[in-house]
Structure formats: C-alpha cells, structure tokens
Amino acid sequence: MSTVSIAIIDYDMGNLHSASKGLENAGATPQVTDDPAVIAAADGVVLPGVGAFDPAVQHLRSRHLVDPIKDAIASGKPFLGICLGLQILFDSSEEGSEPGLGIIPGTVRRFQHEANITIPHMGWNQLNFTQPNVSLWQQLPADPWVYFVHSYYVDPTDKNVAAATTTHGTQTVTAAIARDNIMAVQFHPEKSSTCGLKMLSSFVELCRKGDR
C-alpha cells in the first residue's frame, strides 16, 4: 500500500500533536510543517488550530503561509480544516478584527446567550448531514456523535456549502463545510473516538487516491 503524505500546517495554534497522531493512526505519514515546499509536495493538507481568530491569522501571515494554503487548495489536493482551521477560511469573525483568509465567503459568529446553555459549547453533540455524500462521512452511521469545544461558529454566505449542522440550545449552526476539495469541521475528529478515526481514515483514503 502506498505511503500517504499529509502536511499538517504549523502556525503555533495548538492541537498539532493530536491531529498528527490521529492521522498516523488512520494510516498516513503526517508531517507538521511550515515549509511551503513540503505543503506543495504533500498528498493532502490539514489546517488544525485551537485558540483565538486574530492571533491565528496573524501567525499565518507572519509565517508567509497564506499563499501556500491557497495554492494547495487551488491544486485540487484534499484539504481538511479542523476547528479554528475551519473558521480562518472565512472572511471575518465576531471574535476579532483581523480579516480571515476569505477562501469561503461568510462570517464567524458568537453563540447567542440563552437559558440552560453553556458557552463555550463543549462536549459531545450529534451531526445532521446536509451534504450526505461528503467523503469524510462515508464510513459513518447516521447522526454520529462528535466532540466540540467552541464559542463561535461559521455562517457561510452560500448555505449550500454547509455539509453538517449541530444544535446547541435552540441554535442550529453549521458544524462542517465542503466545497470541491475543501472539507472543514468545527468539531475535533482526533478527539471523537471511533467516528473521528473513521473520518480521518476516509480523508487519508481520499489523499491516497489522489482525487482531484
């Protein structure tokens, strides 16, 4: 079986080790890197992240990683954003003032306070697939449980980009997006037990096939 190389983009925003370990367990050869040449040569690219929006995009820009990310996406290779790595693909965030990468039109919004919900939204919630044919979902049961930690959620301009939703209190929000070769999720697959490993396995297989 051929080796699958996956570049995990390092921009000092956390969960690199757990994302790397999850992909390794799924059969890939991950490399944590901020080297544009490594990103360009990889079979697939993962943009992870935990933390705040403004420092994240500042770090990406200071490390000159914005163009390598856009080039990787433009190349057609499979691209997976995780948590903050989903949010920074958008135009802007209510969390900060920095512009996002503007790859997916839309805004990152804060959960509205209401009775009996906690912010951040932290713990296990079910997904409702709005794009059931996304490659990441192919090994999953209907309405799987996954692990979230977030106070903000993405609100894409084009609602057809949403690939899954979840509900927190009375608020139903986008939990994942998919467009062409881009897949990005608000939850943490690497912390989502068997379902999360199956998603990462599906991503690795997509990279192995070289689907464009």
Catalytic residue among 121, 150, 168, 190: 190
Catalytic residue among 59, 150, 188, 195: 188
β-pair partners for 184: 81, 177
Q: Cβ distance 202 to 176 under 8 Å?
A: no
The β-bridge partners of 179 are: 182
Catalytic pick among 59, 83, 168, 207: 83
- Can you give the CATH number for the domain in which 126 is found? 3.40.50.880
188 catalytically annotated: yes
Task: Indicate the residue type of 129.
Answer: F
The DSSP code for 40 is: H
Quote the pLDDT of residue 1.
56
List all residues 6 or more positions away from 34 whose beta carbon is below 8 Å from its beta carbon: 9, 10, 11, 63, 65
CA gap 31, 147 in Å, rounded: 24
What pTM value is reported for the model?
0.95
With contact defined as beta carbons under 8 Å apart, do 104 and 161 qualify? yes
Q: Are 5 and 31 contacting, i.e. CB atoms less than 8 angstroms apart? A: yes
Task: Name the DSSP letter for residue 141.
Answer: P
Work out how many domains the chain is built from and give that number: 1
Domain with 31, as residue range(s), is: 5-209
- Is 98 among the residues known to form the active site? no
Q: What is the pLDDT of residues 56-106, one digit of tens each?
A: 999 999 999 999 999 999 999 999 999 999 999 999 999 999 999 999 999
Alpha carbon distance 65, 8 (integer Å): 12
For the record, the structure tokens of 126 come out as 């079910």
Spell out the per-residue pLDDT of the chain, length 212, in tens: 578 999 999 998 877 888 899 999 999 999 999 999 999 999 999 999 988 999 999 999 999 999 999 999 999 999 999 999 999 999 999 999 999 999 999 999 999 888 778 888 899 999 999 999 999 999 999 999 999 999 999 999 999 999 999 999 899 999 999 999 999 999 999 999 999 999 999 999 999 986 43
